[in-house]
């Protein structure tokens, strides 16, 4: 019996690769690890039964139509906005994602951005590296306090809850807004979306991207925020209207922002680059060796389960 054919779009750790070899006939990207162009993806997927994809692979109707034998897509990410789930369901293609394994790591990173924006960390480091430090002074690079302040979380799922838990150690008041109130958030208070923006000193975005959350933070929401407030986005580019955010940071509508995701990434709005009040990182919130390894392995385990006739571990469609 020939082995089922699998395309792995990006490099995975050797241990993950090894767990799949012998079960699948694998076309991989272990050497170059370059993102596949749409035409490469269409060509390589044409004869495949299985796909291990990433957050940057756009799986739309055109891609699915080019792969008539595709049975299961294991995405190495928790967010699935890059995959047309309905089209997959219509074609009977199973889709899995990677919840839970990245929750704590991603929450840690939200805090890294929050602290960095509050205390002007990257700005201070550049000041030092550029030889501008001529000596100590009282008001040098003064930031804002995190301890005792108000944290607003937009999107109280697993990661939002993990961020909220960490806030207890900082003596913070925690507000959140969700499509519906979460029932296990004893230490966080549900508020309407406008109140979240008005009352918070730090607003952290953790909502999944969808047509409903496109530009959920635009000029109107930014104008509601305190001029001393910071915005942190670890959700998805497109959740924030980046043009409006650049303007808000330039004009002092809000104090600072910490951004791990961007509209149209890896390109980003050039307006961010000269601004010292924004901390910019390249979509690395879940990027620790252990967590990215766990994400890849969970994706691989889903493929193995499907190929071996077992129940999928984390199916989304």
Residue 293 within binding range of ligand DGY, rule CB under 6 A: no
Q: Which region among 77-85, 166-174, 182-190, 218-226 touches ligand DGY (by CB under 6 A)?
A: 77-85
Residue 79 within binding range of ligand DGY, rule CB under 6 A: yes
- Distance in Å, CB of 98 to ligand DGY, minimum: 6
62 in active site: no
Q: Footprint of ligand DGY on residues 217-276 (CB under 6 A)?
A: none
Active-site position among 10, 236, 255, 292? 236
- Distance in Å, CB of 33 to ligand DGY, minimum: 15
165 in active site: no
Residue 286 within binding range of ligand DGY, rule CB under 6 A: yes
Cα 172–239–125 angle (5° rounding)? 60
10 in active site: no
Two tokens at 88? 């997959």
Residue 298 within binding range of ligand DGY, rule CB under 6 A: no
Exactly one of 16, 45, 51, 77 binds ligand DGY (CB under 6 A); that residue is 77
Closest to ligand DGY by CB, 146 vs 298, is 298
Do residues 75 and 98 touch, judged by C-beta distance below 8 A?
yes
Do residues 106 and 77 touch, judged by C-beta distance below 8 A?
no
Exactly one of 7, 36, 73, 78 binds ligand DGY (CB under 6 A); that residue is 78
Do residues 256 and 117 touch, judged by C-beta distance below 8 A?
yes
Residue 102 within binding range of ligand DGY, rule CB under 6 A: yes
**Residue count, binding to ligand DGY (CB under 6 A):** 7
Q: Footprint of ligand DGY on residues 26-65 (CB under 6 A)?
A: 55
What's CA 244's distance to the chain center, in Å?
20
* 3-state SS track over 73-137: EEECCCCCCCECHHHHHHCCCEEECCCCCCHHHHHHHHHHHHHHHHCCHHHHHHHHHCCCCCCCC
Closest to ligand DGY by CB, 55 vs 88, is 55
**Residues counted in the chain:** 317
Cα 191–197–198 angle (5° rounding)? 90
- Binding residues (CB under 6 A) for ligand DGY: these are 55, 77-79, 102, 283, 286
- Residues marked as catalytic: 236, 265, 283
């Amino acid at each position: 019996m020939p082995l089922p054919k699998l395309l792995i779009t990006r490099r995975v750790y050797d241990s993950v690769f090894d767990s799949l070899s012998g079960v699948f006939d694998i076309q991989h990207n272990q050497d170059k690890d370059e993102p596949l162009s749409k035409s490469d993806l269409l060509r390589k997927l044409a004869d495949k039964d299985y796909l291990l994809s990433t957050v940057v692979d756009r799986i739309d109707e055109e891609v699915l139509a080019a792969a008539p034998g595709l049975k299961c897509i294991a995405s190495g990410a928790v967010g699935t906005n890059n995959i047309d789930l309905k089209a997959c369901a219509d074609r009977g293609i199973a889709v899995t994602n990677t919840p839970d394994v990245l929750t704590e790591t991603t929450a840690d990173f939200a805090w890294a951005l929050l602290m960095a924006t509050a205390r002007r960390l990257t700005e201070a480091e550049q000041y030092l590296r550029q030889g501008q430090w001529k000596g100590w002074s009282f008001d040098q690079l003064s930031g804002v306090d995190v301890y005792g302040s108000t944290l607003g979380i937009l999107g109280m799922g697993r990661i939002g809850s993990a961020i909220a838990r960490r806030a207890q150690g900082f003596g913070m008041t925690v507000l959140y807004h969700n499509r519906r109130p979460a029932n296990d958030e004893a230490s966080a208070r549900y508020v309407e979306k406008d109140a979240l923006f008005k009352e918070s000193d730090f607003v952290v975005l953790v909502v999944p991207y969808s047509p409903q959350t496109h530009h959920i933070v635009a000029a109107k929401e930014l104008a509601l925020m305190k001029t001393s407030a910071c915005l942190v986005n670890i959700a998805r580019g497109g959740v924030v209207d980046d043009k409006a955010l650049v303007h808000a940071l330039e004009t002092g509508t809000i104090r600072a922002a910490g951004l791990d995701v961007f509209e149209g990434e890896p390109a980003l709005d050039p307006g961010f680059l000269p601004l010292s009040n924004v901390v910019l990182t390249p979509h690395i919130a879940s990027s620790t060796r252990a967590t990215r390894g766990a994400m890849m392995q969970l994706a691989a385990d889903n493929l193995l389960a499907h190929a071996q006739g077992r129940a999928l571990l984390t199916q989304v469609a």
